[in-house]
Amino acid sequence: MREGRWLAGLALALVVISLSGFGSAGCLAAEGDYIIAPSDVLEISVYGEEALTKGELVVRPDGKVSFPLIGDIQAAGKTTTQVKEAVEKKAKVFIPGAIANVSVTQLTSLQYYVLGKVAKPGMFNVSKPITVLQALALAGGPITFADEDKISVLRQEGDKTVRLPFNYKDVKKGRHLEQNIVLERGDVVVVP
């Protein structure tokens, strides 16, 4: 009897974890660090060098930021640790023993869109990856005449747009929970 309760508890915990998006890799590196993307805002400083402290560095569409003395640095697609190492390497040419600090001050690149028959359609900036169900919740949920079994996630993969089906009726009944995928930057949830 205890073993049955324990397994039921474990199953419930796994469902909660999967619904919360915990452990998702949408914007995370293998070691769990956030991957910087265009439009994120960084603060970069070199210890002991006030002239080399810059906040509000917006990552450009080409993935780079401009930093005094050392020029452009590739930031998009890298972790803060990787950008820190790149800054230190370039700065050490001018400042031996340079120690840099890099932090993301605004996660503006995690944008998702929810369109169609929801209470609050629009673009949503969030601070961590979210699931389809969480995106629908942010948009106030499907409205009365929404076609809940024909919801789609539109995802850009290279030069193609891929349609991923999501049946809200099934998911809210606890069926086919694998449809509740973690959204990627720029995904569009369409509720017909």
What CATH number is associated with residue 55? 3.30.1950.10
Percent with pLDDT over 70 in the chain: 83
According to the model, what pLDDT value does residue 28 have? Answer: 53
* Nearby residues of 91 by Cβ (< 8 Å), 6 or more positions away: 46, 52, 69, 70, 98, 100
- Distance in angstroms (rounded) separating the CA atoms of residues 95 and 93: 6
Same domain, 90 and 116: no
Provide the domain limits for residue 84. Answer: 41-106
According to the model, what pLDDT value does residue 31 have? Answer: 54
According to the model, what pLDDT value does residue 127 have? Answer: 78
- Distance in angstroms (rounded) separating the CA atoms of residues 14 and 56: 39
76: pLDDT strictly greater than 60:
yes
4-14: b or e for each residue (b if 16 or more CB lie within 10 Å)?
A: eeeeeeeeeee
Same domain, 114 and 178: yes
Using DSSP's 3-state secondary structure scheme, residue 66 falls into strand
CATH number at residue 161: 3.10.560.10
Q: How many domains does the chain have?
A: 2
Same domain, 100 and 131: no
User: Could you report the per-residue pLDDT of 146-173, keeping only the tens digit for each?
Assistant: 999 999 999 999 899 999 999 999 999 9
Q: 58 versus 9: which is more confidently predicted?
A: 58
100: pLDDT strictly greater than 60:
yes
- Distance in angstroms (rounded) separating the CA atoms of residues 192 and 150: 7
Q: 133 versus 49: which is more confidently predicted?
A: 133
- Any idea which of 9-18, 32-41, 137-146 has the lowest mean pLDDT? 9-18
In a domain, 5, yes or no: no
- Distance in angstroms (rounded) separating the CA atoms of residues 132 and 112: 10
In the predicted model, what is the mean pLDDT of the chain?
Answer: 84
| HSE-up of residue 140 (Cα within 13 Å, Cβ side) | 12
Amino acid at 122: G
